[in-house]
Chain A
Amino acid sequence: MSVHYLSVNQPFLSRDSRKIEASPYFNSSNEPNITISSDGFGGVSDMNAQVFSKALAGLAEPLQRLASSTPPSMLESVRSGKPTRLDERLYDATATVKIKMSNVAMHIGTEWRDKLFNQIDSLHDIKEWDEDDNPVNKDSFGAFIKELILLKPDNHPGLGLSFNGNVIAMWRKNNDKLIIEFLANGKAKWLVSHDVGGDVERASGISNLLRLPECIAPYNPERWFKK
């Protein structure tokens, strides 16, 4: 048997190639469903008639029957128009990140998941919300979840949002803090502060998600992560 390797050090993981993903599962659309009328005078149907032969046209119907509809999860943000009401905007943002988390639910325990859901609900609490604030950015949240699965901390961080909706995670032990802001481009800004007899030492950096554990390793992150 020949064994073929799948290597990740290849362009298929680049952002551009993701755009040409052929799986119907990824044909997400944020637009309302639109069908083109087949009975228009001189319209699209007439043009099609010139392009396809009768034999080919006959294939379309059975093929369409075979095709599955878009999974309901991919309809998540479909609304008739962009949500303008604050409660709708907050609901959409909350639902989007919950669906994102659902996508990796098998890597997150129920207790942890419930806690994260409560934190998101609390961050998007409409009573505390300022009109100028931005709800959580889904890409930043995606980066946060990826990092949590990688780090697997026993202690879960406190969460906040930056003005542009980036997730900010904070761990604290006595006066020592680790603060990480997850950026929408898959990078993370981190800040460590360490209290040495009243003097506070600080270190900070920006790194990609995979390198982050190594970047903060010299600062003994176990004190924040381990119970």
Chain B
Amino acid sequence: MTNLDSSSMQYSRPPIIESIINIQFEKDVGFKEVEALRKKFSKHYFNEIEIPHYNVKVEVRENTKKHEAKVKQESISYRFSNEDSNQLLVLEPNSFIVSQLAPYAGWDEFYERFRRDWEAWRRVVGYQKISRIGVRYINRLDIPLKNEKVKHEEYVNIYPRLPSYFSSVNSYQVECIIPLDEVNAELRLNSAVVPSPVLNHLSVLIDQDIFKDNELPQKNADLFMYLEAIHKEKNKVFELCVSDKARELFK
């Protein structure tokens, strides 16, 4: 029987390849604020990359058969990263994204960085109405091959159900949108076979995106409490999606 108490689940080699907290806003943040944010976060991160967003307008006149294209820079985003390139912060005009690539050192460390950056962001921009909160965890299970085959049903609990006529599956991808009553949010759950980065293994992705776009917490204290609740829920979802045999791979 699987123990779903998230506090007991500590893996030595968690299969998380990316964890993301994404806060989106009703209105875009102006160029001026984005520039002030850039300066602020340059102190926390080793590197920054500018990502311009363009608006392309193509005009085609039928009678003259002439066409004209106008390109205008609409906004700008910044992507910050640490020296190891595994801690990322992306500032877009309408969203704030904190991401951690593997190795994942645990929720506490990830969440602390989110809080540090979020509070700094709010000090510069001030109140901005939140329109969506998303927490996404992308897990990849690298399963060793035996005789070039893997019984994927022995490792994951999310996969397509097929008639018994089909004896083998080359690849699959499934996606479900599921309501999560516990946190009054929705879960977009993806599972797919992906090319393995490890020789002699087959890799299965479990990508969970828990998001909410109504009745959102707007104050910091409420937001932090809500994220903690989502964290517990995402652990529960993950444990439900994998088997004990899978846990053996990363415990």
**Chain A residues packing against B (C-beta within 8 Å):** 1-13, 17-18, 21-26, 32-37, 40-44, 65-66, 68-69, 71-73, 75-76, 78-80, 91, 94-95, 98-99, 102-107, 110, 113, 117, 142, 145-147, 149-150, 209-210
B164:A42 contact, CB within 8 angstroms: no
B62:A11 contact, CB within 8 angstroms: no
List 29 A–B pairs whose Cβ atoms lie within 8 Å, in order of A's numbering. Answer: A2-B164, A6-B168, A10-B168, A12-B170, A17-B171, A21-B194, A23-B194, A23-B205, A25-B205, A35-B56, A36-B56, A37-B55, A42-B59, A43-B60, A68-B209, A71-B138, A72-B90, A73-B88, A78-B49, A80-B52, A98-B84, A98-B86, A99-B101, A102-B84, A102-B85, A103-B101, A104-B102, A106-B102, A149-B199
Shortest Cβ gap from B96 to chain A (Å): 11
B33 at the interface (CB under 8 A from A): no
- Which residue of chain A lies nearest to B204 when distances are taken between CB atoms in the complex? A6
B44 at the interface (CB under 8 A from A): no
* Interface of chain B, main secondary structure: strand
**Chain B residues packing against A (C-beta within 8 Å):** 13-15, 17-18, 20, 22, 47, 49-62, 74, 77, 79, 81, 84-86, 88, 90, 95, 97, 99, 101-103, 132, 134, 136, 138, 142, 145, 148-153, 159, 162-164, 166-171, 173, 177, 186, 188, 190, 192-195, 197-200, 202, 205, 207, 209, 211, 213, 250
**Which of B99, B164, B195, B213 makes the CB contact (< 8 A) with A65?**
B213
- Which residue of chain A lies nearest to B74 when distances are taken between CB atoms in the complex? A35
Shortest Cβ gap from A216 to chain B (Å): 15
